[in-house]
C-alpha cells in the first residue's frame, strides 16, 4: 500500500515540476500579440493631443512653482539630541 502512495506522490511531484517549468518558460517568451505600429490618428487629433499635453505641462509647472522652497534641513530628532 505504501508503494502505491509513493508512486502517486512521485507522479504528482513530477507533474507539478513540469507545470511550473512550463509556466516560467512561457512567462519569458515574447507573445505574438498584434501591435499598433501604425498611427491612425488624424492631424486634428494629433494637434488636440499636443495642445492637451501642453496644457498639462503648464499646469504641472504652475503647481510645482507654487511649492515653497525648503528653508533648512528638517531634523525630527533635534530635541532628542
Domain coordinates of the chain in residue numbers? 2-28+42-65
Rounded Cα–Cα distance for residues 80 and 53 (Å): 48
* Tens-digit pLDDT profile for residues 9-39: 999 999 988 877 777 666 666 666 666 666 7
pLDDT, position 69: 81
Task: Give pTM, 2 decimals.
Answer: 0.41
The share of the chain scoring above pLDDT 90, in percent, equals: 35
Residue 64's φ and ψ, nearest 5 degrees, are -75, -25
Residue 27 DSSP symbol? H
The answer to whether the beta carbons of residues 65 and 73 sit under 8 Å apart is: no
Amino acid at each position: 500500500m505504501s508503494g502505491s502512495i509513493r508512486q502517486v506522490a512521485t507522479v504528482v511531484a513530477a507533474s507539478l515540476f513540469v507545470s511550473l517549468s512550463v509556466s516560467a518558460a512561457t512567462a519569458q517568451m515574447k507573445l505574438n500579440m498584434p501591435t499598433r505600429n501604425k498611427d491612425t490618428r488624424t492631424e486634428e487629433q494629433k494637434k488636440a493631443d499636443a495642445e492637451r499635453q501642453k496644457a498639462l505641462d503648464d499646469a504641472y509647472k504652475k503647481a510645482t512653482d507654487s511649492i515653497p522652497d525648503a528653508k533648512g534641513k528638517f531634523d525630527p530628532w533635534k530635541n532628542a539630541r
